[in-house]
Chains A and B, each alone.
Chain A
Amino acid sequence: MKYLITCAIALSLFTPALAQDLMKMLESETEKDAKPDYATATFKTTRIINGHSVENVAAGVLDFRISHRFGNVNGGAYELWGLDEASMRLGLDYGLTKRWMIGIGRSTYQKQFDGLTKFKVLRQSTGTRRMPVTLSAMGSIMYKSIKFEDPTRENYYTSNFYYCGQLLIGRKFSEGISLQISPTYIHYNLVQELNDPNDLFSIGFGGRFKVSKRVSINGEYYYQLPNYKLTGTQNSLALGVDIETGGHVFQINVTNSTGMTERSFITDTTGDFFHGDIRIGFTISRVFTLVKPKESKIN
């Protein structure tokens, strides 16, 4: 009799134990299928403020970007604190693959055209593969189409070309904090002053701090190496807020730079941020899905 009771107890213990174990069994079965967990949305868009972030446009997605930088705030009431004047860039970026994007743009600043390509080399991940940072390589060409200052001189169209190469090294430290370092090389075919170097080097520092799920504060600073910068230029500093609303991202910012391409804002900024040469600016990014991803098909 005793044993019958024991048996009954054993059975009653055994059955629910089995039931709970099914989840454990599933977990252990699927453990080996685990994939690396990639960090996503290190930054909200492909730009921190003026400069590139480690982010790409998703595959098959077109990003239309309208950027404005108004005049200097220290122009006073007469210039409506800079709002009377605006420098603008229209840009189209497209994601060829998950890792590779291309883009074109036109700026009012010196009537400049630009083309860019960016490739994600490494992706920050945890789990089965560990990578502490995301690394992207960015290259761009800029062409200034404004008429030559002195048409009587012998001018070459090649003088208007500028090239930029950047490594973007970013890390999402937590949901709220992402930081990036961007070593940058810029080449000028023609420089203004005799003593100016044609090869310019700088290091960019950028960060984003999320204040809510849809709002973040961004900062960006490009330090130009002393012997590799143009005469009379300042380092570019920008502070901004990203606000996300469905398909749009609004970026509102203040910066001492006028241009919005690498060579313009990194190496051709003349305004001094701390002497009031601050411009209010904004960027609107709107994405359009041109090619739907295969994984989203329901069969």
Chain B
Amino acid sequence: MKQLLAVFLFVSICSVSSAQTIYMTRYGQISFFSKTPMENIEAVNNEVTSMLNSGTGELVFAVLIKSFHFDRALMEEHFNENYLESTKFPKSTFQGKITNLGAVDFKKDGTYTVTVTGDLMIHGVKQTISAPGTLTLAAGKITAKSTFNITLADYKIEVPSLVSEKIAKNIEVNVKCLYEPKP
């Protein structure tokens, strides 16, 4: 019994000693850009939900496809109906980890450069990606920023030949989230 108690104690100490705090946002921003000589297309989602575990470096995102908004309503309709098929695949997720967690001191304000690696699922297709980013700590909150590129073909997003000159094959994705500690 004593030993059992010791195990529990040890486990609980282990998890406490890693000083993990769960940080969360419900209003993160993800925008993307498609640049071609013919046309520039951009869209933004301001309702991105995400959690960051400072103890393990674990980072997760859940993004509703229908919450991406475009300047042109028809583009938004086509994005949902024809490209991302949001009825079939309503959510996009990311599940990954900060690979250089040691470089971040969650107790000290400042900007830290990090690399995040994990599984990005878009359009029902999962791909492992790695992206650079920054974490800026200030007053107990974390601002996370990252820019990376994805290739539409990797996620089986088909672009018909008729509009292939207007839609880039590689899309620039920008992430901007302000995390607060989860109570």
Contact = CB atoms under 8 A, between A and B. Distances in A.
Interface stretch (B47-55, B129-137, B139-147): B47-55
Interface stretch (A10-18, A75-83, A199-207, A229-237): A10-18
A29 B24 contact: yes
Contacts of A156: none
A213 B73 contact: no
Given A11-B14, A296-B44, A214 B82 contact: yes
A30 B74 contact: no
Q: Which of A26, A213, A245, A293 has the most CB of B within 10 A?
A: A26
A298 B26 contact: no
B117 interface: no
B10 A246 contact: no
Contacts of A61: 72-74
A177 B161 CA distance: 26
B71 A246 contact: no
Contacts of B19: none
Given A25-B51, A58-B74, A37 B66 contact: yes
A40 B72 contact: no
B162 interface: yes
A61 B71 CA distance: 10
B53 A18 contact: yes
B15 A14 contact: yes
Contact of A3 (B6, B14, B69): B6
A247 B31 CA distance: 22
B77 A40 contact: yes
B46 interface: yes
A27 B80 CA distance: 22
A225 interface: no
B49 A296 contact: no
A295 interface: yes
B90 interface: yes
- Chain A's interface size range is 35 or more
Given A18-B56, A295-B46, A298-B44, A6 B7 contact: yes
Contact of B51 (A14, A26, A41, A213): A26
Interface residues of B, number: 48
Nearest to A245: B162
A254 interface: no
A18 B90 CA distance: 26
B77 A41 contact: yes
B58 A214 contact: no
B135 to A, nearest CB: 17
A30 B26 contact: yes
Interface in A1-58: 3, 6-7, 10-11, 14-15, 18-19, 22-23, 25-27, 29-30, 33, 37, 40-41, 58
The list of the 9 closest CB pairs from A to B, nearest first, reads A58-B73, A295-B69, A296-B69, A3-B3, A213-B82, A23-B60, A26-B51, A292-B71, A30-B49
12 contacts: A3-B3, A14-B15, A18-B53, A19-B58, A23-B60, A26-B24, A29-B24, A30-B62, A41-B81, A95-B73, A175-B88, A289-B72
Interface of B: 3-4, 6-7, 10-11, 14-15, 22, 24, 26, 29, 31, 42-44, 46, 49-51, 53, 56, 58, 60, 62, 66, 69-74, 77-78, 80-82, 87-88, 90, 93, 95, 97, 160, 162-163, 166, 182
Interface of A: 3, 6-7, 10-11, 14-15, 18-19, 22-23, 25-27, 29-30, 33, 37, 40-41, 58-61, 95, 175, 213-214, 244-247, 287, 289, 292-293, 295-299
